Structure 1
Amino acid sequence: MGSGGSRAAQVPDADRIRRETGFSQATLLRLYHRFRALDSNKKGYLSRVDLQQIGALAVNPLGDRIIDSFFPDGSLRVEFPDFVRVLAHFRPVDDEDTGTRDPMQPEPLNSRMNKLRFAFQLYDLDRDGKISRHEMLQVLRLMVGVQVTEEQLESITDRTVQEADEDGDGAVSFLEFTKSLEKMNIEQKMSIRILK
């Protein structure tokens, strides 16, 4: 037996997950091995504690928020398919991914719009569809730490919200968020090379 086919069989429901996430068979297998390595007690799922072992998340100022995204609706565990779906948002966009997509198929998880939705939810803590001044301030505080004074931070927050808030309601909607990031290459900023 060839090692590629027999090893890929270890990934449960691999074909469906590959279609859904766009990951190659080799990447999916690597992610499955990483998932199993993080599952230190061999429970078959990951907890917050398991994800906190990931060094890149431990040093990322938004690490806790990213970990939260693995546990929607207060869930206490993430199984492999959901683990991979979250990571798919960080899969780089391939040139062949654009322009050849069947419009009847769901938008890829790593599309610009889905990357923006993912980023928006890191700010919108109360899930009300808007980023309030308070939520923006919390995120900026995490990102800059003690490098700026509280007064400077509040000024940056006010300016950021004011510039993005087109309807004047004092908060940033998803549409306003996407417009404010229109010129940013979000596809590259929200990519992890190993997730090809």
Structure 2
Amino acid sequence: MGTVCSSQISKITNLDEIIAETGFSKGHVSRLYDRFASLDKDEKGFLSKSDFQNIGGLAVNPLGERIINAFFPDGNEAVDFRTFVRILAIFRPIENEKNKDPSAPESVNSRSNKLKFAFQLYDQDNDGKITKKELLQVLRMMVGVQVTEEQLENITERTIQEADLDGDNAISFKEYAMSLEKVNIEHKMSIRFLK
């Protein structure tokens, strides 16, 4: 137990760079490679959106399609292993940031990067703002028919009013981050990866 199959590791290009960039251990990267390979049924070396759509948990998640799209930045059609791991690293728990060297680059799984990932789930047109329309779409997906349209519109309006500090009827990333200042993002956006 705890040993990593050397044949798996040998298939991973730039392993040391991936470990340094993501903070994952060699064992984590090996297991993520196994997951990547199981999704890559055609053994193409990359994943398409349809490969992600075969993941049961994403298929039933109301935000599943938006989460899948987050793996395809800049309209890319395919995700290689390194990109796959880098995006999953956003969900790695944050280490103790108190002792961190202030001149060190921001880690992939920093609070700011976790917030940026969540922000892009709302900001579908990538204009740097969450509009009432975009917020309403997400709320509709998340609550379905459990809440009336009028209630959803009231929630949306109130949320925009509370977060919108510059009065443009939208929420910028800065406003979004400020509105979540007291929220424990570490807890809400971290996945405990097995060692």
TM-score range with shorter-chain normalisation? over 0.9
SS of the residue corresponding to residue 146 of structure 1 reads helix
Within 5 Å, which residues of 2 pair with 1:152-171?
152-171=151-170
How far residue 130 of structure 1 moved from its aligned partner, in angstroms, is 0.8
Counterpart of 2:67 in structure 1 is 66
Matched, 1:9 2:10: yes
SS of the residue corresponding to residue 79 of structure 2 reads coil
Within 5 Å, which residues of 2 pair with 1:63-102?
63-95=64-96, 98-102=97-101
Gaps of 5+ in 1: none
Counterpart of 2:46 in structure 1 is 45
Query: How far, CA to CA, are the matches of 1:189 and 1:51 in structure 2?
Result: 22
Counterpart of 2:26 in structure 1 is 25
Query: How far, CA to CA, are the matches of 1:195 and 1:87 in structure 2?
Result: 13
Coordinate RMSD, CA, aligned: 1.6
Q: Is the 8 A contact 1:90 1:195 kept in 2?
A: no
| Paired letter, 1:67 | I
How far residue 5 of structure 1 moved from its aligned partner, in angstroms, is 4.8
Q: 1:40 to 1:122 in 2, by over 3 A?
A: same
Q: Is the 8 A contact 1:23 1:195 kept in 2?
A: no
Query: How far, CA to CA, are the matches of 2:4 and 2:101 in structure 1?
Result: 32
SS of the residue corresponding to residue 107 of structure 1 reads coil
How far residue 10 of structure 1 moved from its aligned partner, in angstroms, is 2.4
Query: How far, CA to CA, are the matches of 1:58 and 1:191 in structure 2?
Result: 20
Query: How far, CA to CA, are the matches of 1:167 and 1:195 in structure 2?
Result: 43
Gaps of 5+ in 2: none
TM-score (normalizing by structure 2): 0.93
Question: Number of paired residues?
Answer: 193
Q: 1:125 to 1:15 in 2, by over 3 A?
A: same
List 4+ stretches of structure 1 deviating above 6 A.
Answer: none
SS of the residue corresponding to residue 110 of structure 1 reads coil
Counterpart of 1:136 in structure 2 is 135
How far residue 140 of structure 1 moved from its aligned partner, in angstroms, is 0.8
| Paired letter, 2:22 | T
Identity %: 61
Q: 1:3 to 1:28 in 2, by over 3 A?
A: closer
How far residue 74 of structure 1 moved from its aligned partner, in angstroms, is 1.3
How far residue 172 of structure 1 moved from its aligned partner, in angstroms, is 0.4
Q: Is the 8 A contact 1:92 1:195 kept in 2?
A: no
Counterpart of 1:118 in structure 2 is 117
- CA deviation profile, 1:20-63 (whole Å, cap 9, x unmatched): 11111101100001000000111110000101122221222111
Bigger drift between 105-114 and 3-12 goes to 3-12
Query: How far, CA to CA, are the matches of 1:195 and 1:110 in structure 2?
Result: 17
SS of the residue corresponding to residue 128 of structure 1 reads coil
SS of the residue corresponding to residue 43 of structure 1 reads coil
Q: Is the 8 A contact 1:70 1:86 kept in 2?
A: yes
| Paired letter, 1:113 | S
Query: How far, CA to CA, are the matches of 1:94 and 1:50 in structure 2?
Result: 31
